[in-house]
Amino acid sequence: MINTIIVEDSELARLELKNLLLAHPEINIIAEAEDVDSAVSIISEKSPDLVLMDIDLPGGNAFDVLARLTIIPPLIFTTAFDNFAVDAFEFNTVDYLLKPLKKERLAKALNKLLSNASTKEQSSNAVELLSGDSQFFVKDGEKCWLIKVNDVRYIEAIGNYSRIHFAEQSPMHYSSIQKIEQRLDPKKFFRINRQELVNLNYIVAIEPWITGGLRLTLTCGKELDVSRRQSNNFKSLMAL
């Protein structure tokens, strides 16, 4: 079964798409979203195998959704606009379908998805770690950053979101610290407590602390506390 989310603001268009998908019993529709915020929330929570998504959405567009996701699932765009096709294929895009959707064209796109999946020798749940030179996109308000993993000093949990600390910047990222941690090399980034994930390369001092844990000092002068629960794991990792 291919767990699928439909992102489409038109109820009629969602209904038409679901009717077309009845001919494909391998497609299991697990959720629907109708705007940018709900799409980000549902995709992040459900981790689907496929997202069928319109371009134009209330609150922005499909690319605003993708900018806020840590892991982008396979995508099939379903849209009335043909001028976004080039941009769409910069992401994990299987196909780009123009409305009105044709059942033959949809079937071809789904067959392409299945073909791609069968050639991958990895689990659908496997997560590829980002290298130190990898870059990821963060949008906070009207500002955007393309951040290199090696430049991140530490990451701070802010509710269900995260704040990325690098250079002199600290933008908010619309993804949980848990999801970000899954993409980072555990030999380079360590979860020192429930709220913070630190890049080990930026640590310049380590000392015992009154809480029973440890206090770290980073190159920027920032001090962070390793919880007592995580201290032994940290010492083993650092061979202390």
Taking the CB of residue 5, how many other CB atoms lie within 10 A of it?
Answer: 22
- pLDDT tens across 43-61, in order? 999 999 999 999 999 999 9
Q: Is 29 helix (H, G, I), strand (E, B) or coil?
A: strand
Q: How confident is the model at residue 124 (pLDDT cuts 50, 70, 90)?
A: very low
| Sheet of 50-53, strands arranged across | 27-33, 2-7, 50-53, 75-79, 93-98
Amino acid identity of 65?
A: V
- Dist CA 94 CA 101 (whole Å): 15
pLDDT beyond 80 at 17: yes
Q: Residue 152: which pLDDT band, with cuts at 50, 70 and 90?
A: very high
Beta strand segments in 141-188, E: 143-148, 152-158, 161-166, 172-173
How does pLDDT run across 128-142, given as a tens digit for each residue?
Answer: 788 888 888 888 888
Q: What is the pLDDT of residue 120?
A: 53
In angstroms, rounded to a whole number, what is the distance separating the alpha carbons of residues 103 and 23?
Answer: 9
* pLDDT tens string 200-209: 999 999 999 8
Cα Rg of the chain (Å, integer)? 21
* Domains observed in the chain: 2-119 (3.40.50.2300), 135-238 (2.40.50.1020)
Q: Which comes out higher in pLDDT, residue 30 or 146?
A: 30
> Nearest-CA neighbor of 75 among 98, 54, 51?
51
**Cα(136)–Cα(211) distance, rounded to whole angstroms?**
35
3-state class of 84 per DSSP? coil
- Residues 147/130, Cβ–Cβ less than 8 Å: no
